[in-house]
Amino acid sequence: METKTIQISAGKGPIECEYVVAKVLRIFLKEFCYNKIEYTILNREKGLENGTIQSVRVQIKGNYLADILKPWLGTIQWIGTSTFRKYHKRKNWFIGCFEIENSSAISINENEIHFQAIRSSGAGGQHVNKVSSAIRAKHTKTGLQVLVMDSRSQHQNKKIAIKRLQEKVAEFNVHQLKEQIKNEWENHQQLERGNPVRVFKGSDFKSVKNNKSFKAKRNQLKNDLRTQLE
């Protein structure tokens, strides 16, 4: 079973786009229920008006998620009249649906740490150089490492090394979280207005099938060819 995190966002769009996010979310979740996909809403940013959503993150679990998500990932278009600005002339509104990499916080297990005993250097006399009391510890999952020679006791240095690695991994997790937030914000900013993967129309959000537009193009080409032959 796969796990993916999806973000649906109005980007920097107006309140109508926040309205579209809320409507599309319902359709999105309904389709996953139909396909027996488990979902959890991780967080939801409310829009300016009741019933609107600026951005939402959803975690989904199931099989063949890539195939199911394919028609959703990208720009989504709604063709409709604004319910908030009655005389607004604009009819086309765009939102984005993106996949977010799962970057859960990393924790340290002692069996993921490689310890190496080495000879200490520095002050302490000849005894320090004769005993391999210093410890180099490496966290194999992240590649982070520390060198500890605080004590003449190898056991004590090992305990200190684990603690310092935990601190380093905590800093690593904070950095990863900041990067994830940065990427999410870029998703907000980079909404492509063309080439929508899904198009909905009207107050009932009826899906507009792409093959209709292809059919119209084929008919237009036939008419053009017929005109040229006459």
Assigned domain for 15 exists: yes
Assigned domain for 122 exists: yes
Assigned domain for 182 exists: no
Q: What is the CATH number of the domain that holds 13?
A: 3.30.70.1660
Same domain for 114 and 97, yes or no, is: no
To the nearest 10°, the Cα dihedral for 17, 18, 22, 28? 50
SS3 category, 119: coil
Same domain for 98 and 27, yes or no, is: yes
Assigned domain for 230 exists: no
Dihedral sign for Cα atoms in the order 118, 124, 129, 132: negative
Look up residue 75 and give its DSSP letter. E
Same domain for 13 and 89, yes or no, is: yes
Same domain for 91 and 160, yes or no, is: no
Same domain for 12 and 84, yes or no, is: yes
Phi, psi of 23 (to 5 degrees): -70, -45
Residue 182, token pair as written in the block: 């940065």
How far, in Å, CA of 74 to CA of 148, rounded?
49
Same domain for 143 and 163, yes or no, is: yes
Same domain for 137 and 218, yes or no, is: no
Residue 208, token pair as written in the block: 């507009």
Same domain for 202 and 88, yes or no, is: yes
- Tokens 């391999």 -> residue: 132
How far, in Å, CA of 130 to CA of 127, rounded?
5
How far, in Å, CA of 20 to CA of 54, rounded?
9
Q: What is the CATH number of the domain that holds 129?
A: 3.30.160.20
**Three-state SS across 5-67?**
EEEEECCCCCHHHHHHHHHHHHHHHHHHHHCCCEEEEEEEEECCCCCCEEEEEEEEEECCHHH
Assigned domain for 186 exists: no
pLDDT tens, per residue, the chain with 230 residues: 888 889 899 888 899 999 999 999 999 999 989 888 999 998 888 999 999 999 998 989 998 898 889 999 989 999 999 989 888 889 999 999 988 865 555 667 888 899 998 876 555 555 444 557 899 999 988 889 999 998 888 899 999 999 999 888 878 876 765 566 556 656 655 666 667 899 999 988 998 865 444 455 556 655 665 665 55
How far, in Å, CA of 63 to CA of 209, rounded?
25
Strand order across the 145-148 sheet? 113-118, 134-139, 145-148
Greatest distance between any 2 Cα atoms in the chain: 104
Same domain for 49 and 86, yes or no, is: yes
Assigned domain for 36 exists: yes
Instruction: Tell me how many domains the chain contains.
Output: 2
Query: What range defines the domain where residue 149 resides?
Result: 110-175
Same domain for 150 and 205, yes or no, is: no
DSSP string computed for 127-191: HHHHS--EEEEEETTT--EEEE-SSS-HHHHHHHHHHHHHHHHHHHHHHHHHHHHHHHHHHHH--
How far, in Å, CA of 148 to CA of 212, rounded?
68
Same domain for 43 and 150, yes or no, is: no
Residue 89, token pair as written in the block: 């002339």
pTM for the structure as a whole = 0.58
Same domain for 82 and 6, yes or no, is: yes
Assigned domain for 171 exists: yes
Q: What is the pLDDT of residue 183?
A: 62
Assigned domain for 124 exists: yes
